Amino acid sequence: KAVSVRLVATTWWVFAALVLSVYAASLSALLRSPAEQGPVNSFEDLIGQKVMEFGTINGSSTHQFFQSSKDPLHRMVLERMERQQGRALVSSHEEGVERVLSSNYALIGETVSLDLAVARHCGLVRLPDVTVLRGLSLATTKGSPWAEELSVALLQLAESGVLEALRHKWWEPSCAPQEPLRRGSLGPQSLGPAFLILAAGLTLGLAVAVGELALKTCRVDARPEVRGDLPPGAGATQGGHGARPRGPTTVPSATRPGPLGSAGERDRKTWDLEEEFPPRSSLSALVSFIQSCLLSLCSVQSILESTIQQ
């Protein structure tokens, strides 16, 4: 085959080898990492992992909630915290935030206080799925007239948007939004070098194919034309170097020598066929190169679509 076709095939194999090596490296890293280091999206994940410690504020409403809860899952969370021999409980909210920032620790607390800590510290994140819904209200004495007035006032503040404005004022995060981490997926940044090598190989192959086509076309144009047979007494039969006539000549079949005449006839037919039908090896190489490029582009498009879907 032509050099351009070999170059495109080699580039494609190198690209495939790079993609497979990156995929194998990502898969091996994912298999080497223990299962307990996976993302925490629920209390089940929090209990199942053994790398990160977690706890709450000692004596807080959250701690009392786990102590009074009858849910088996909440009881397992409390037992896990108690097995840590006091390391899971902190004395204040500030101590818990500092411990989260300085070590591999997760603080369980009220959503309001956790959102405030996340708004002040860009290195913190609150998991919205690991929550327990509870109702909070203002307590008054039984039969107090303030109960109805407080309820009406809270509803008016909520409907007028005052509560939402206060929330944005005090709990609005000052950090830039961060994209969630996706483990085990290959992004364009991981396959960037492979795509660059593929593009460079296809471009070089196209240039080589054009050069080969131009070179072979020049060779065909520079080939001498042969229109007739050698005159008697000249050429290969006499061992001389006589010039061949330019015009077409006819030789009767009866005067042609046996073997030599047959060979000359075959040579003349060969030259005539080459003049009528020039060699197509360069054209076939170019067509094969274009087909290889199209197949490569289709494969790249499918890889990009699968990467974007991930």
Q: Are residues 47 and 27 in the same domain?
A: no
Q: Are residues 56 and 123 in the same domain?
A: yes
Q: Is residue 269 included in any domain, yes or no?
A: no
Residue 269 pLDDT level (bands cut at 50, 70, 90): very low
CATH number of domain containing 108: 3.40.190.10
Residue 107 backbone dihedrals phi, psi, to 5 degrees: -100, 125
Of the listed ranges 49-53, 173-177, 203-207, 245-249, the least confidently predicted one is 245-249
Amino acid 164: pLDDT = 78
Residue 227 backbone dihedrals phi, psi, to 5 degrees: -115, -10
Q: Are residues 49 and 24 in the same domain?
A: no
Q: How far apart are CA 207 and CA 213, in angstroms?
A: 10
Domain count, the chain: 2
The answer to whether the beta carbons of residues 52 and 106 sit under 8 Å apart is yes
Q: Are residues 72 and 122 in the same domain?
A: yes
H/E stretch holding 269: helix 259-276
Q: Is residue 303 included in any domain, yes or no?
A: no
Q: Are residues 6 and 54 in the same domain?
A: no
Global confidence as pTM: 0.43
Q: Is residue 114 included in any domain, yes or no?
A: yes
Q: Are residues 56 and 115 in the same domain?
A: yes
Q: How far apart are CA 62 and CA 56, in angstroms?
A: 7
Residue 99 pLDDT level (bands cut at 50, 70, 90): very high
Question: Parallel, antiparallel, or unpaired: how do β-strands 53-55 and 105-107 relate?
Answer: parallel
Q: Is residue 65 included in any domain, yes or no?
A: yes
Q: What percent of the chain has pLDDT over 90?
A: 3
Q: Is residue 234 included in any domain, yes or no?
A: no
Distances (CA, A) of 233 to 239, 241, 243: 9, 10, 11
Per-residue three-class SS string for 165-178 = HHHHHHHCCCCCCC
Q: Is residue 212 included in any domain, yes or no?
A: no
Residue 236 has pLDDT above 50, yes or no: no
Considering Cα of 194, then 199, then 205, then 207, what sign does the dihedral take?
negative
Cβ count near 128 (within 10 Å): 8
Q: How far apart are CA 186 and CA 287, in angstroms?
A: 33
End-to-end Cα distance, the chain: 39
Q: Which one of 54-68, 123-137, 174-188, 200-214 scores highest in mean pLDDT?
A: 54-68
Task: Look up residue 259 and give its two tokens.
Answer: 């073997």
* Mean pLDDT within 39-63: 84
Domain edge (last residue) among 86, 117, 134:
134
Residue 104 has pLDDT above 80, yes or no: yes
Amino acid 73: pLDDT = 87
Range of the domain at 5: 1-31
Domain edge (last residue) among 93, 118, 134:
134
Amino acid 98: pLDDT = 92
Domain edge (last residue) among 90, 113, 134:
134
Q: Is residue 183 included in any domain, yes or no?
A: no
Amino acid 242: pLDDT = 44
